[in-house]
Amino acid sequence: MTERRWISKVNKPARYVGGEMNEIIKENAPDLTRFALCFPDVYEVGMSHLGSRILYEAVNRLPFAACERAYAPWIDAEQEMRKAGERLYALESGDTLDKFDVLGFSLQYELSYTNVLLMLDLAGLPLRACERTEEHPLITAGGPCACHAEPLAPFIDVFMLGDGEETICILTEAVKEAKEKGLSREQLLDRLCGMEGFYVPSRYEVTYSETGQVKAITPVAGAPKSVRRAILTDLEHAVFPTKQLVPNTGIVHDRAVIELFRGCTRGCRFCQAGYLYRPVRERTVDTLKEQALEAVKDTGYEEISMTSLSSGDYPCLMELIGVLNGALKDKMVSLSLPSLRIDSFVKNYAEGIGEVRKSGLTFAPEAGTQRLRDAINKNVTEKDLLRTVSEAFEAGYSTIKLYFMLGLPTETDEDLLGIADLATKVISAYYKLPKEKRTQPPSVTVSVSPFVPKPFTPFQWEPQISREEIERRQNVIKQALRTQKRVRFQSHNAGVSHMEAIFARGDRRLADALEAAYRAGARMDGWYECFDYARWQDALASAGLDGAFYANRAREEGETFPYDHVDIGVSRNYLWHEREKAYAANTTKDCRQGCTGCGLMNVCGGKA
């Protein structure tokens, strides 16, 4: 590996050296197809991402391919790299990214888009796809945002849509074959275009109406009218890493991870993941036990996170907790459930996952009143919440975090005051316990995030409330909680949420604003210390765009969305019907209780 003296000058050098336990290094043969997984955020965030670990394993199992990793450098490292004339490199080999065949970006969050440009730029690559030649790597991107990443379309050669375990292998093999046959970049894209899970943005032309809305999305060069996302049907036998990378420094989620199931059956109307990852696919207890035991053996971790969109919905959860506790308790390995629904939490879970050591618990009521929880189809009640926190307190937990959203469709100030009222009742639930059960004073954090209307949800037609209104509503809650000493209030930056909404529903014209913001210094925009709202407003103005047009405008039922040529399998009519039910405050049943007709019956057979 090249000696890089600048690393000693940065704040966290361990981010940039590689050499982690369980990294995979393959000898670089001339015919090896080289894939660099690029996570557009810092090492601590990227190393915590389970999806990247899975893809890293999947590509490296291919005998003809080698997969390495790169992360976006923090501000200090970027400055030192530019001073040293250093290009961005992969951690395993130390080779610069321009030497790879494929660069694959994971798009988890809209405000990471400037980091994609940063990584391309630091790699010495042209930002725009139309400017790259045969000598440059193929640039691809996947993850949840790939389904609506039109602002990134001019920068990406091909998007991978949906589950990536199989798709990334198909792509890697296609690149290998293209090299062997001497195919051009365009010929490779022609092969990928039309295959399930692959969206080539250059094969679609977008026109706009006089009012600025998308008028039409027209396929060219034989491209299909729409691109269907890839769906992994057999999760039980899918690739999963047990020799998980162990970081050189502390990361956001520093523990071993097993994935109980993928997808969610609840149908919360604001939740994009609940629609993008349908249908539910589960792993058996035996498989999960084997994966957990191997992960502990191969990593040395003392905690296993049992992750899913709603881990408490795993039907065999109590059995799994018992099996894992029995196998791991003597090793002092604890279990954690990072995603718990209020109505699926029971006292036995709390006791089981806290058998070795106890941490805090997090729940998401999302709204402060039952009317609004019904409107968003949360399907939990105040009674559920108070029962849950009482059982948690009784099991010895004292730290509770409650997540809420602000600015949801139909929300009133009464709903906001309901948030403060719920927090007060949670504190009261602790003091209703017998004195011998009150081991330490309760600590409740109320975290409130502004609602962002996301594509492929029933609320994709809704406007986001203005930045000023977000701040007013935040203050309503803050004032209502001012006398509660045991409750800590957390709110999110209104400007960050505004920009998230702009890019979530944005079209290709935003690419100019994105590049302008990057050239003006925008990067790491998901980090409050780096985010500059004024810079983004200047960038939008330079591109002749109005942020309110994207974020704060209600859509008509039949309006063409910038991402209408992407087919996630859930029908648009179903989403619109769910929106209508929201305004009537009518709920939809969990599809584990019977098919609700979302459009994926051919995949799940009407069974969740």
Tell me, what's the pLDDT at 356? Answer: 46
Average pLDDT taken over every residue of the chain:
93
In this prediction, residues 471-485 reach a mean pLDDT of: 95
* In contact, 123 and 40? CB cutoff 8 Å: no
78 within 8 A of 7, measured Cβ to Cβ: no
Q: The tokens of 161 are what? A: 């849509």
The pTM (predicted TM-score) of the whole model is 0.95
Of all residues in the chain, what percent carry a pLDDT higher than 70? Answer: 96
Q: How far apart are CA 60 and CA 492, in angstroms?
A: 39
- The residue assigned the tokens 């000693």 is 8
What's the mean pLDDT in 112-130? 98
Tens of pLDDT, residue by residue over 395-422, are 888 889 999 999 999 999 999 999 999 9
The pLDDT score that the predictor gives to residue 604 is 75
Q: What CATH topology corresponds to 256-492+570-593?
A: pyruvate-formate lyase- activating enzyme (3.80.30)
Token look-up 């925008």 returns 522
Nearest to 143 by CA among 252, 48, 49, 225: 49
For residue 280, the model assigns a pLDDT of 95
Higher pLDDT, 121 or 31: 121
What pLDDT shows up at residue 568?
A: 97
Show Cβ contacts of residue 244 under 8 Å, excluding neighbours closer than 6 positions.
22, 53, 256, 257, 295, 298, 299
What b-and-e string marks burial along 139-157, b requiring 16 or more CB atoms within 10 Å of the CB? bbbbbbbbbbbbbbbbbbb
Angle at 43 between CA 123 and CA 338, to 5 degrees: 140
Q: What confidence score (pLDDT) does residue 259 get?
A: 97
SS3 at position 395: coil
Portions of the chain given CATH number 3.80.30.20: 256-492+570-593
- What the block records as the tokens of 423 is 């927090």
Q: Domain spanning 5-228: which superfamily? A: Response regulator (3.40.50.2300)
Is a pLDDT exceeding 90 seen at residue 479? yes
Residues forming a β-bridge with 490: 447
Tens-place pLDDT, residues 508-551: 999 999 999 999 999 999 999 999 999 999 999 999 999 999 99
Q: What is the pLDDT of residues 72-93, one digit of tens each?
A: 999 999 999 999 999 999 999 9
Amino acid at 79: Q
pLDDT of residue 19: 95
Q: How confident is the model at residue 105 (pLDDT cuts 50, 70, 90)?
A: very high
**Structural tokens at position 457:** 């949800």
Residue 443 scores a pLDDT above 60: yes
For CATH 3.40.50.2300, list the domain ranges present in the chain.
Answer: 5-228
The two three-digit tokens of residue 147, written as one number: 């389904």
Sign of CA dihedral 93, 99, 102, 103: positive
